Amino acid sequence: MRIVVLAGGIGGARFLRGLKRAAPDADITVIGNTGDDIHLFGLKVCPDLDTVMYTLGGGIDEEQGWGRTDETHRVKEELAAYGVGPEWFGLGDRDFATHIVRTQMLGAGYPLSAVTEALCERWQPGVRLLPMSDDRVETHVAVTLDGERRAVHFQEYWVKLRASVDAHAIVPVGAEAAKPAPGVLEAIAEADVILFPPSNPVVSIGTILAVPGIREAIADAGVPVVGLSPIVGDAPVRGMADKVLAALGVESSAAAVAEHYGSGLLDGWLVDTVDAGAVERVEAAGIRCRAVPLMMTDPAEGLAAADMARAALALAEEVRAS
Amino acid sequence: MRIVVLAGGIGGARFLRGLKRAAPDADITVIGNTGDDIHLFGLKVCPDLDTVMYTLGGGIDEEQGWGRTDETHRVKEELAAYGVGPEWFGLGDRDFATHIVRTQMLGAGYPLSAVTEALCERWQPGVRLLPMSDDRVETHVAVTLDGERRAVHFQEYWVKLRASVDAHAIVPVGAEAAKPAPGVLEAIAEADVILFPPSNPVVSIGTILAVPGIREAIADAGVPVVGLSPIVGDAPVRGMADKVLAALGVESSAAAVAEHYGSGLLDGWLVDTVDAGAVERVEAAGIRCRAVPLMMTDPAEGLAAADMARAALALAEEVRAS
């Protein structure tokens, strides 16, 4: 079975770990969000790709969900001693090495997809990890700060401001001119199932879908497309998805996110059992919907994620058989 | 008193520390060798500039003489885990930060001289540290390896091969097209004394002198030019200067190095007391010569270096008065 998964960071990575357990023989291609990539200290940092790579490769800091385990921060301390920031973005010493290798390879002329493949040779994530595009796409957030309206990098909004101010708009700068990375459209065309993990529907999966050709390829693939709600009981499972949903005028509920994707894209939708009341509304929108436990909480997270993946694959079979 | 010092790495840096003690009120400009600069992991590394900066700024690893004190090597271990080398060049985590800041600034368009000034704002070395040139100069060494003649980067010869094979030639690639960095010729023209520390006469001071205009400016400055022999008792005080002297057909002796610089450049020369027998030969070459203790050995190194600096300044006064 060939499965294509569109993934953001922590939520996507943890779901993927469950999917690998649920479908150990599947051929999994992950299309990773690169809209939250950022240049820091002259280095190219790809937070979502790295979170997937580290999580599946066994190098992740399990507690915080991103970055390397057993990490130190000497490089960053020294950069601060030089007065060079930003200080609000956490880069550990081991993590720095990844960005140094990536930046060196990009500087030598390799596209991000080739760089990602090379990095994965070390991590052996057990999936094929593709960036959504080799072209630069950068998600900016329009906010009002000190009375002035300005656009900040997504990471500045998310990490520095901690989404503490309203987002007026979310703009994946460069997306309209970006091309899907090599292999992306082919993987979608050859997929048996396409899954949207409980990643952020706006700044993770939404950004991937903003790359021209990807949304169309998924809609035209003719295979079940099943998603998992990142909203449980009207609140995001993780992060601050409600903040960026509001910028799009989408209410923060499991049903509203399904409607936002729409039945033209989505065939099946899983909501948490606490949102069982939303099933009817989602199905009314033409999307088959089931309520199952959707909390990937530690310590049973790995098992819960596998159960969620099994439920998603079962729903996909239901869609196929219908 | 305005003093200009041409400096390589460890020897130059330790001498400078002594000079600062010997002449605390002097206005010292250091013209640093950049011929041993190297690009590693996509980062610009300037070993000699950093050794001077760290030594005078109190950040040096005193024992090894280069790199940062209290250093760890996590970034490098991770790079090795990615299969990315070279492994033979020791870069610590704290040191990495310097190269990251430098590379970022160079990438933003600042010349190396401006970058060096910015780095020194943190280190406050108490001297004005100028790279010999903002242009790329890279010292290559012609060697025979596995029966084949090839050119290797100086660092590969020095650090990886540990000068274990004969050097057929030393070539400061790019030097003939390089311009002195801003301030270099001005500092020489305004100097009251010009000093050559016991740095490597070929790959440190020789490379600086290979930048068109610098040798001429020193020869024409009309002020005492005094050097200290890096060879004591026919052996280098530190490093493998004999190896690179041989490539130039210069014997490894205190007198031969003075003759190599020549009386057109050098007015005074200090040899170690064990080489007192060389004084006559050096003076016969038209260079005033004195024998004083030249070993900057720990733990009294700081004091010994200050004594050496005092002897150099005294010899400069002798030259001036003559």
Q: What is the pLDDT of residues B74-119, one digit of tens each?
A: 999 999 999 998 999 989 999 999 999 999 999 999 999 999 999 9
What is the rounded distance in angstroms from the CA atom of residue B258 to the CA atom of residue A143?
68
pLDDT tier for residue A96 given thresholds of 50, 70 and 90: very high
The pLDDT of residue B298: 59
A162: left (phi over 0), alpha (psi -120 to 50) or beta: left
Cβ-nearest to A100 among B42, B107, B122: B42
The pLDDT of residue B237: 80
Taking the CA of residue B252 and the nearest CA in chain A, the distance in Å comes to 41
Return the DSSP state at B181: P
Hey, what are B90's tokens? 């020791």
The pLDDT of residue B29: 98
Cβ-nearest to A82 among B77, B97, B103: B97
- Cα nearest neighbour of B100 on chain A: A41
Q: Is residue A267 part of a domain?
A: yes
Which range, of A49-53, B17-21, B87-91, B255-259, averages the lowest pLDDT? Answer: B87-91
| Selection from A180, A178, A194 nearest residue A29 by Cα | A194
- Cα nearest neighbour of B92 on chain A: A75
Kindly state the average pLDDT of the residues A211-233. 97
pLDDT of B238 > 80? The answer is no
Alpha helix (H) residue ranges in chain B:
10-22, 47-57, 74-81, 93-107, 112-123, 154-155, 184-190, 205-209, 214-220, 241-247, 254-261, 279-284, 301-321
- Cα nearest neighbour of A44 on chain B: B104
Hey, what are A254's tokens? 């499991």
pLDDT of B299 > 60? The answer is no
Amino acid at A210: A
What own/partner pairs with CB < 8 Å and gap ≥ 24 does B55-60 have?
B55/B10, B55/B13, B55/B14, B55/B16, B55/B17, B55/B125, B56/B13, B56/B16, B56/B17, B56/B20, B56/B123, B56/B125, B56/B126, B56/B127, B57/B120, B57/B122, B57/B123, B57/B124, B57/B125, B58/B123, B59/B123, B60/B13
B43–A82 C-beta distance less than 8 A = no
Chains A–B, number of C-beta pairs less than 8 Å apart = 85
Which residues touch A297 (CB under 8 Å, ≥6 apart)? Answer: A304
Kindly state the average pLDDT of the residues A161-189. 95
Which residues touch A23 (CB under 8 Å, ≥6 apart)? Answer: A1, A3, A309, A313
pLDDT tier for residue B301 given thresholds of 50, 70 and 90: low
Contact A132, A207 (CB under 8 A): yes
ipTM, 2 decimals?
0.91
Exposure string (b/e) for B48-79, b if CB count within 10 Å is 16 or more? bbbbbbbbbbebbbeeebbbbeebebbbbebb
What is the rounded distance in angstroms from the CA atom of residue B152 to the CA atom of residue B144?
10
| Selection from A249, A167, A179 nearest residue A214 by Cα | A179
pLDDT per residue as tens digits for the range B45-62: 999 999 999 999 999 999
Of B45, B50, B70, B74, which to mutate for an interface test with A (greatest number of A Cβ within 10 Å)?
B74
Residue B108 burial (CB count, 10 A): 9
Return the DSSP state at A70: S
pLDDT tier for residue A301 given thresholds of 50, 70 and 90: low
The pLDDT of residue A237: 80
- Give me the CATH number covering residue B25: 3.40.50.10680
Which residues touch B76 (CB under 8 Å, ≥6 apart)? Answer: A97, B87, B90, B91, B92, B93, B96
Whole-number percent of chain A with pLDDT over 90: 89
pLDDT of A299 > 60? The answer is no
Return the DSSP state at B133: B
The pLDDT of residue A235: 81
Contacts of B94 in chain A (CB under 8 A): 74-75, 78
Contacts of B83 in chain A (CB under 8 A): 121-122
Contacts of A104 in chain B (CB under 8 A): 41-42, 84
Q: Is residue B234 part of a domain?
A: yes
pLDDT of A194 > 90? The answer is yes
Q: Is residue A279 part of a domain?
A: yes
Q: Could you tell me which residues are beta bridge partners of residue A140?
A: A153, A171
Binding-site positions of B: 50
Return the DSSP state at B175: G
Hey, what are B79's tokens? 């790079």
pLDDT tier for residue A168 given thresholds of 50, 70 and 90: very high
pLDDT per residue as tens digits for the range A259-279: 999 999 999 999 999 999 999
Kindly state the average pLDDT of the residues A61-72. 94
The pLDDT of residue B201: 94
Kindly state the average pLDDT of the residues A68-84. 97
Taking the CA of residue A302 and the nearest CA in chain B, the distance in Å comes to 27
The pLDDT of residue A201: 94
B104–A93 C-beta distance less than 8 A = no
Contacts of B102 in chain A (CB under 8 A): none
Hey, what are A312's tokens? 């998603």
The residue that leads in pLDDT, A239 or A65, is A65
Q: Is residue B90 part of a domain?
A: no
The pLDDT of residue A155: 92
What element of type H or E holds A188? helix A184-190
Contact A61, A55 (CB under 8 A): no
pLDDT of A238 > 80? The answer is no
Contacts of B101 in chain A (CB under 8 A): 41, 79, 82, 84
Q: Is residue B192 part of a domain?
A: yes
What is the rounded distance in angstroms from the CA atom of residue B18 to the CA atom of residue A33?
56
The pLDDT of residue B240: 80
Cβ-nearest to A42 among B75, B81, B107: B107
| Selection from A96, A136, A107, A131 nearest residue A117 by Cα | A131
B83: left (phi over 0), alpha (psi -120 to 50) or beta: left
Hey, what are A213's tokens? 């050709």
The pLDDT of residue A117: 98
Using alpha carbons, list the distances in angstroms from residue A63 to A100, A300, B259: 24, 14, 66
B81–A75 C-beta distance less than 8 A = no
A12: left (phi over 0), alpha (psi -120 to 50) or beta: alpha
Q: Is residue B119 part of a domain?
A: no
pLDDT per residue as tens digits for the range A11-64: 999 999 999 999 999 999 999 999 999 999 999 999 999 999 999 999 999 999
How many domains, in total, are found in chain A? 1
Q: Is residue B149 part of a domain?
A: no
A100–B41 C-beta distance less than 8 A = yes
The pLDDT of residue A224: 98
Q: Is residue A296 part of a domain?
A: yes
The pLDDT of residue A239: 76
Q: Using CB atoms within 10 A of its CB, is residue B214 exposed (0-12), middle (13-18) or buried (19+)?
A: buried
Kindly state the average pLDDT of the residues B243-251. 90
Hey, what are B73's tokens? 């090597």
The pLDDT of residue A50: 98
Domain of B295? 2-36+126-134+176-321
- Cα nearest neighbour of A70 on chain B: B74
Which residues touch A187 (CB under 8 Å, ≥6 apart)? Answer: A2, A4, A29, A31, A128, A130
Cβ-nearest to B93 among A83, A93, A108: A93
Kindly state the average pLDDT of the residues A138-166. 92
Which range, of A301-310, B32-41, B93-102, averages the lowest pLDDT? Answer: A301-310
pLDDT of A154 > 80? The answer is yes
What is the rounded distance in angstroms from the CA atom of residue A10 to the CA atom of residue A263?
26
pLDDT of A111 > 60? The answer is yes
- Rg of the Cα atoms in chain B: 19
pLDDT tier for residue A241 given thresholds of 50, 70 and 90: confident
Contacts of A107 in chain B (CB under 8 A): 42
The pLDDT of residue A134: 98
pLDDT of B302 > 80? The answer is no
Taking the CA of residue B71 and the nearest CA in chain A, the distance in Å comes to 9
Averaged confidence pLDDT in chain A:
94
Contacts of B72 in chain A (CB under 8 A): 72, 74, 93
